[in-house]
Copies of this chain bind each other. A is one copy, B any other.
Amino acid sequence: MTVQTVSLNKSHGGTQGVYKHASLQTKTEMTFSVYVPEHQDGVRLPVVYYLSGLTCTHANVTEKGEYRRACAELGLIFVAPDTSPRGPEVPGDPQGAYDFGLGAGFYVDATELPFAQHYRMWSYVTEELPQLVAANFPVDPKRHSVMGHSMGGHGALTVALRLPDRYRAASAFSPIVAPSVVPWGTKALAGYLGNDEEAWRKHDTIALIEDGARYSAFLVDYGDADQFLTQQLRPELLQAACEKTNIPLTLRCQAGYDHSYYFISTFMSDHLRWHAARLSA
């Protein structure tokens, strides 16, 4: 598992790197970014995985997320993978839409052809990437957490619910919480997993909770000026599911904020503090 360095830049006292590698899961070259704060030699730091939303690569949050200052203060490593396999050999949306295929892997292992060969983002973000990061960066293998935005918020919540012992904290900005019932989600889950909706349930936060998955606590922020709120995100469904099952949920409606990185960057340090408190406990 060799990792090639694309760029290294000192920032906020630490090092922002971008790396690429040949992925065994996706059978493509994958790019990801890692911020490592200044730290003493030999120390192993907790690591936060950030899963991005539709159309994004590692670069969006790396450039616009404003996470480095807080990670430097809190001693957190921050890892941002891409959102799908990419390359001329990777099939995309037949109509070239932004919400399926390239940039829209939805954090599932596809079972449908022609997507099954490359679209292995569940195994990539939960298995291959953590192993690669553990082998190449000073991370404490027992202190992982996960966060994400929109499609990546869906990824973060489903990852946490299915691997609660691995990820000690989980939070999301504007997550898609019920992909089985919203337009973005039904298109993606049908396309990658086929029409048997039973197979969708382990990639749907609400269905996972209905089926018995539990988690220690979630922090979720959304903006009330988010254009996708009522049709695609549906935070009220998460609130109802958590209330019914006593999963502690801090759900905050942020007045005037939209779906953009201007929103995410505003509350990023709040989220990182949430993660740091649970990763150091």
Contact = CB atoms under 8 A, between A and B. Distances in A.
Given A63-B64, A64-B63, A64-B64, A13 B69 contact: no
Given A11-B266, A223-B10, A66 B69 contact: yes
B63 A260 contact: no
Contact of A258 (B10, B13, B63, B262): B10
Contacts of A260: 9
Interface string A186-227: 000000000000000000000000000000000000010100
Interface in A230-262: 256-258, 260-262
A263 B9 contact: yes
A266 B13 contact: yes
Q: How many copies does the complex hold?
A: 2
A278 interface: no
B11 A265 contact: yes
A12 interface: yes
Nearest to A259: B9
A190 B265 CA distance: 42
A154 interface: no
Contacts of A64: 63-64
A265 to B, nearest CB: 7
A261 to B, nearest CB: 8
B11 A263 contact: yes
B10 A225 contact: yes
A68 interface: yes
A16 interface: yes
Nearest to A60: B63
Main secondary structure of the interface of A (DSSP, over half): mixed
A118 to B, nearest CB: 30
A65 to B, nearest CB: 10
A63 B66 contact: no
Interface in A32-48: none
Contact of A12 (B11, B63, B266): B266
A265 B265 CA distance: 13
Given A63-B63, A63-B64, A64-B64, A9 B265 contact: no
A39 to B, nearest CB: 14
A10 B256 contact: yes
Which 3 pairs, one residue from A and one from B, show the smallest C-beta to C-beta distance? A11-B262, A9-B262, A10-B256
25 contacts: A9-B258, A9-B260, A9-B262, A9-B263, A10-B223, A10-B256, A10-B258, A10-B262, A10-B263, A10-B266, A11-B262, A11-B263, A11-B265, A11-B266, A12-B265, A16-B262, A63-B64, A63-B261, A64-B64, A66-B66, A66-B69, A66-B265, A68-B262, A68-B265, A68-B266
